[in-house]
Amino acid sequence: MFDTIHFKKPLICPDCGAEQSSLQTKDFDCCMLHFKIGSVLSGSTVLTGIIKDTLWCDACYKAGKRPADSPVYLIIWHSLLAGVEQDLAKAEARLAAVDRLDLIAWLDEAQREAARWSRNYHKLFSDVSRWHEHLTRPPEPERIGADAERQRAFRRLFSLPDEILTAPDPLAAILAANKQASDDVED
Ligand SMILES: [Zn+2]
């Protein structure tokens, strides 16, 4: 097993120029964890320093070439992943330059991400709950006159939108709508 480090901007294979957006590494706990800049590296035996790893290139591998021994330097600062560089001098400079503004930026990003996840799942949970209510609610008699308008307004407020209720597979429509909403937020 391994862990995956995701780069902020892709690294370039020095052999073929292919872009690499992540690195599978056995340097840490190997628990299929995902790390990015600012992540706490659980299982790192290095607390502050630089770990040398190797950039893997799928394109070179598929072309039958043995990927060149292309080093990737993981910059670790108080167990946090502070950066990824392909050049040792740049990695050393980055390690020396980490300061509390970096910490604040990572904290800010982590909190935004937590809020985004919480928002997404709150909405998904609410939609699925409303679908469950819709399935289990005994049918209401249709009102007439002014009451009918009030009944429709009430339904619009608390029911799922018609395009979900009338979809061939409402549950799939709920998942698709929530996936779309979360992709939009990430863009
Ligand atoms: Zn390559």
pTM of the model as a whole: 0.72
Show pLDDT as tens, one digit a residue, over the chain (187 residues): 899 999 999 999 998 999 999 999 988 888 888 999 999 998 888 899 999 999 988 888 888 877 667 999 999 999 999 999 999 999 999 999 999 999 999 999 999 999 988 888 898 999 999 899 888 888 778 788 888 888 878 777 778 888 888 899 999 999 998 888 777 766 5
User: Please, are residues 53 and 85 in contact by the beta-carbon 8 Å criterion?
Assistant: no
Helices in 63-169 by DSSP H: which ranges? 88-97, 100-136, 146-158, 162-165
Ligand 1 centroid–CA 59 distance in Å is 5
Q: What pLDDT sits at residue 80? A: 95
Residues 6 or more apart whose Cβ sits within 8 Å of residue 34: 3, 4, 6
Ligand 1 centroid–CA 36 distance in Å is 22
Ligand 1 centroid–CA 81 distance in Å is 25
Ligand 1 centroid–CA 47 distance in Å is 31
Q: What pLDDT sits at residue 135? A: 87
How far from 19 is each of 12, 16, 27, 58, 60, CA to CA, in Å?
5, 9, 22, 10, 11
Ligand 1 centroid–CA 67 distance in Å is 6
Sheet holding 71-77, edge to edge: 49-54, 71-77, 80-85
Ligand 1 centroid–CA 62 distance in Å is 9
